[in-house]
């Protein structure tokens, strides 16, 4: 097996983390495929909100492609950290493309405040969220990081705590605050 010579997802992630944009273009289709698969599942009326999906995707990359008896937790944490940022990057880009595609053809939406609030809660606008996260990064980088880990990488409180190397109660407080603040930002702009 030529594990060392062929790029695998881990290496692609590392390369991308080091600024290699080509790696991103190789990783993006993987996430897009998963998106289509999920969307297809919704169409069939499968239950929504499988929190496992994102972690499954990332875990899968991790589990299959790393010689993981030799991997220490540090690397695992690092892996999830980079993967979370990657997911954010790709998913927000995807949302931008979809928004652009929708523009023009659609009728003007009448804004109803309650409808907007409910929509924000259940289907947050990923592009607006990304902007708000950028602001949050300047105010409290750790909170922004935890949002990436929880929302974009689908990690649990405990997993996020391990990756961010803080206590679970810290993650819980950060998450609670970030949730409230981001919700406020998104409700104000939509």
Under 8 Å between Cβ of 144 and 178: yes
Of residues 22, 25, 63, 115, which one binds another protein by CB under 8 A?
A: 63
Cα–Cα nearest to 83, from 172, 144, 163: 163
CA distance 149 to 129: 14
Site for another protein in 97-126 (CB under 8 A): 98, 101, 117, 120-124, 126
Closest separation in Å from C-beta 20 to another protein: 15
CA distance 38 to 17: 26
Residues 6+ apart with CB under 8 A from 149: 80, 81, 84, 155, 159, 160, 163, 164
Contact flag: residue 44 with another protein (CB under 8 A): yes
Under 8 Å between Cβ of 149 and 160: yes
Contact flag: residue 23 with another protein (CB under 8 A): no
- Three-class SS state of 104: coil
Contact flag: residue 8 with another protein (CB under 8 A): yes
Contact flag: residue 187 with another protein (CB under 8 A): yes
Nearer to another protein, 50 or 115 (CB): 50
Of residues 14, 24, 30, 77, which one binds another protein by CB under 8 A?
A: 30
Under 8 Å between Cβ of 52 and 34: no
Stretch that binds another protein, among 13-21, 30-38, 105-113 (CB under 8 A): 30-38
Closest separation in Å from C-beta 100 to another protein: 11
Closest separation in Å from C-beta 16 to another protein: 15
Contact flag: residue 81 with another protein (CB under 8 A): no
């Amino acid at each position: 097996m030529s594990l060392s010579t062929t790029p695998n997802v881990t290496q692609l992630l590392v390369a991308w983390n080091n600024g290699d944009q080509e790696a991103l273009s190789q990783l993006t289709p993987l996430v897009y495929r998963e998106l289509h698969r999920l969307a297809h599942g919704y169409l069939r009326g499968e239950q929504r909100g499988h929190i496992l999906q994102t972690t499954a995707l990332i875990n899968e990359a991790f589990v299959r492609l790393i010689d993981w008896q030799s991997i220490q937790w540090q690397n695992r944490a690092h892996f999830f950290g980079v993967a979370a940022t990657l997911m954010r990057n790709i998913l927000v880009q995807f949302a931008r493309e979809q928004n652009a595609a929708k523009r023009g053809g659609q009728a003007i939406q009448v804004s109803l405040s309650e409808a907007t609030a409910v929509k924000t809660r259940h289907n947050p606008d990923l592009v607006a969220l990304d902007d708000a996260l950028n602001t949050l990064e300047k105010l409290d980088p750790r909170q922004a990081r935890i949002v990436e880990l929880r929302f974009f990488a689908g990690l649990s409180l405990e997993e996020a705590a391990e990756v961010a190397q803080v206590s679970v109660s810290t993650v819980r407080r950060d998450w609670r605050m970030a949730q409230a603040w981001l919700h406020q930002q998104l409700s104000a702009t939509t």
